[in-house]
Chains A and B, each alone.
Chain A
């Protein structure tokens, strides 16, 4: 049964040091309040899996020293520029980067949701991505001739962590058109979700809502966190806090600036207004 917990703090209380944690791209719903809770709890040695790219949440976790390894197609603050703590950590060698490409991460999760060990995929051959990924293998297509094809191992995150508009009392979570969140939930050992609101109305009894709903079967725990994606936006619900993110992008250029941001916005200010 899905646990309904009181806060993002409680929701993420079981995420252990060393866990692999999958997080979605910013447009799909970032559990920022939960990410701040992880930072406050000083979780260490996470393997962060970006589905398929990550931005502010990844930079924050990396800057705060929570991350040992990142698997991503890209880490960027988008229109606010490059992700400064990510760049610095990779150049310094304090975080290990496993460079991937967007469809490879989606395909790895799809292998996990099917319970198969790998997924074949087109493209990628001859890139330096393939050169540096010793867990990717090229085989001959057994159904063709002279047709090399890449195999990608299944990606099974210990935890998927994201934010969604709503859930119901049974733990069903509505994600609408952001269907990579379903794939993440299917593929992961545990799925932790913060939501804007938990309502009494069942999401699975209305066919119009059920199509965009993750059944509670896949959801380990939920917690209400109004504006839980802030300062990142939740498309269709609220916009990003642009001035906040711009200020972060500036402060995070230096370690001192980042520490100041952390002290002001994460450690001292547990919940944003």
Chain B
């Protein structure tokens, strides 16, 4: 019997799986699901993983100002990071700036934050899209905050490895520069995913059903992970992990 879980718990469990073996995972601001997934991965790593959460005073190792995260990434001291996008396209370009022509965007978003840098330098960047629709997953982004791939010769140890959405998990093939469907969440068909995706993608040889969090994962998420998230994400910790699904 599988236990009842919340959609956010499924995503945190997927994220944790993608972080296996990482020694230092950094999580940007306003990212409760990546933070929860990273803390779950840390629980399983038995002391071999550091997690830095921006916006947290407790879960951070940085003491040298705002630049330290970026300097740290440029030196290869950060193995995994998360990015999202108001738009993400089939080449893994992300747009955090605006819809319509630049600079007078018809719809303006906050801005690119550190994406244009960290996407190049962190080996394992996991893209997270909370709304899997043709509005967000598009053929071509209106503005490239950070490109998914770079031409040969451009220094780029980093880049996307996966795109996690509320419907499925895509892997990203850097050489081919495109996404491939790795697994569909329970209840999602390949046809339905295609219908909701604005870009072309290939299929893995065997598209799996995304593994759901088991009893042990749920116990950790609702226990030690929830406690660790309390400080930076009190509402999320309380409302998503604070009660049984």
Tell me the A residues contacting B by CB distance below 8 Å: 25, 27-28, 51-53, 72-76, 78-79, 82-83, 86-87, 90-93, 96-97, 99-104, 106-107, 110, 121-130, 132, 146-149, 177-183, 235-236
Q: What CA separation (Å) do A128 and B89 show in the bound complex?
A: 14
Question: Which of B113-149 touch A at CB < 8 Å?
Answer: 113-121, 143-147
Q: Would B121 and A122 count as touching, CB distance under 8 A?
A: yes
Q: Would A126 and B150 count as touching, CB distance under 8 A?
A: yes
In the complex, which residues of chain A have a beta carbon less than 8 angstroms from the beta carbon of B96?
74
User: 9 nearest interchain CB pairs?
Assistant: A179-B65, A74-B111, A103-B70, A76-B110, A123-B120, A106-B67, A123-B117, A180-B65, A101-B116
Question: Is B103 positioned at the interface, with any CB of A under 8 Å from its CB?
Answer: yes
Q: Would B153 and A148 count as touching, CB distance under 8 A?
A: yes
Q: What CA separation (Å) do A12 and B113 show in the bound complex?
A: 29
Q: What CA separation (Å) do A180 and B63 show in the bound complex?
A: 10
Counting chain A CB atoms within 10 Å of each CB, which of B97, B117, B120 scores highest?
B117
Q: Would B67 and A103 count as touching, CB distance under 8 A?
A: yes
- 26 A-B contact pairs sorted by A residue (CB < 8 Å): A74-B112, A75-B111, A87-B108, A90-B103, A90-B104, A91-B104, A91-B108, A97-B103, A101-B114, A102-B66, A103-B70, A104-B117, A106-B67, A107-B67, A122-B74, A122-B120, A122-B155, A123-B116, A127-B145, A128-B144, A132-B103, A148-B154, A149-B155, A177-B65, A179-B65, A180-B65
In the complex, which residues of chain B have a beta carbon less than 8 angstroms from the beta carbon of A146?
153
**Number of B residues whose C-beta is below 8 Å from A?**
45
Give the number of residue pairs across the A-B interface with Cβ within 8 Å: 140
In the complex, which residues of chain A have a beta carbon less than 8 angstroms from the beta carbon of B57?
235-236
In the complex, which residues of chain B have a beta carbon less than 8 angstroms from the beta carbon of A79?
30
Q: Would A99 and B112 count as touching, CB distance under 8 A?
A: yes
Closest partner residue, chain B, to A92 (CB atom):
B104
Q: What CA separation (Å) do A106 and B74 show in the bound complex?
A: 14
Q: Would A96 and B70 count as touching, CB distance under 8 A?
A: no
Which of these, B55, B108, B114, B151, contacts A86 with CB under 8 Å? B108
Tell me the B residues contacting A by CB distance below 8 Å: 29-30, 55, 57, 63-67, 70-71, 74, 96-98, 102-121, 143-147, 150-151, 153-155
Q: Would A121 and B110 count as touching, CB distance under 8 A?
A: no
Which of these, A82, A106, A181, contacts B110 with CB under 8 Å? A82
Q: Would A126 and B154 count as touching, CB distance under 8 A?
A: yes
Which of these, A82, A123, A178, A180, contacts B118 with CB under 8 Å? A123
Counting chain A CB atoms within 10 Å of each CB, which of B29, B107, B112 scores highest?
B112
In the complex, which residues of chain A have a beta carbon less than 8 angstroms from the beta carbon of B113?
53, 73-74, 101-102
Question: Given A73-B111, A128-B143, A121–B117 Cβ distance below 8 Å?
Answer: yes
Q: What CA separation (Å) do A75 and B150 show in the bound complex?
A: 27
Q: What CA separation (Å) do A122 and B73 show in the bound complex?
A: 10
Q: Would B30 and A126 count as touching, CB distance under 8 A?
A: no
Which of these, B65, B71, B112, B143, contacts A73 with CB under 8 Å? B112
Q: What CA separation (Å) do A127 and B103 show in the bound complex?
A: 14
* Given A87-B108, A103-B71, A128-B102, 15 further pairs, Cβ under 8 A: A78-B30, A91-B107, A100-B111, A101-B112, A102-B113, A104-B116, A122-B121, A123-B116, A123-B119, A123-B120, A125-B120, A127-B116, A129-B116, A132-B102, A132-B103
